[in-house]
Amino acid sequence: MINVLIIEDHLEFAESLQQLLSDTEMIRVVGVYRNAKDIVRQINAYKPDIVLMDIDMPVCNGLDGLRSIRAANLDMKVIMLTVFDDNERVFQAVCNGASGYLLKSSTPDAIIEGIIGVYNGGATMTPSIARQVLKIFSAPYQHSTDMQNLTSREHDVLSLLVRGYSYKMIAAEMNLGIETVRFHIKNIYTKLHVNSKSEAVAKALQNRIGK
């Protein structure tokens, strides 16, 4: 029996998912919650085999929940739920230790197969995300002198980008205006010689920044 803890803020989807998994002989839903605020306590209480967690949620999102799990040194398989594949937050979630992700539009069979596959040691993700992740983790530690050119504030902004923060979230976390955040990120791109958030995050991860 595969014990699954669901963290999903959309009530109707959470109920449908719970019903689907409860009707599957191999899977048992041990709990359903609306955000990841108390994820560590819930894992310790329910002892799930897999956490099925939405990426985008109010109060505490899936990336924050994933970081809490890793900070608590819990050896937990986490599958992220998302509306879109091949986006920044999915990429960052996988880079930060998720076992993969499932699209909310996936067929019932695909969701069940994905859970069983991860339980058996596999991973569930599209080839595009897999290629990005493999490109990073197949590379050795890279000490880039470009990182030394970042100011302390820029380094903090980059660390939050790696953790999946949006521009708005960075502004709130660092008590900055949104345009100031955009200014810092533009400077980060210039100093790291990159042209996108994915490239900046990849370079940061290769230099062990933000994890």
* 8 three-class SS: coil
- The residue behind tokens 């998994």 is 21
- Rg (alpha carbons) of the chain, rounded to whole number: 18
Largest CA distance in the chain: 56
Q: What fold characterizes domain 2-137?
A: Rossmann fold (3.40.50)
Is domain 145-206 annotated with CATH 1.10.20.10? no
Report in angstroms the alpha-carbon separations of 194 from 14, 55, 101.
39, 26, 26
Nearest Cα to Cα of residue 159 among 202, 201, 206: 201
User: What's the pLDDT at 71?
Assistant: 82
Those residues of the chain that have pLDDT short of 70 are: 86-87, 132-144, 208-211
Strand 2-7 and strand 100-103: pairing?
unpaired
Delimit the domains of the chain by residue range: 2-137, 145-206
Q: What is the pLDDT of residues 144-194, one digit of tens each?
A: 677 888 999 999 999 888 877 778 889 999 999 999 999 999 999 999 888
Q: Which residues pair with 7 in a beta bridge?
A: 33, 53
The secondary structure element, H or E, covering residue 180 is helix 178-192
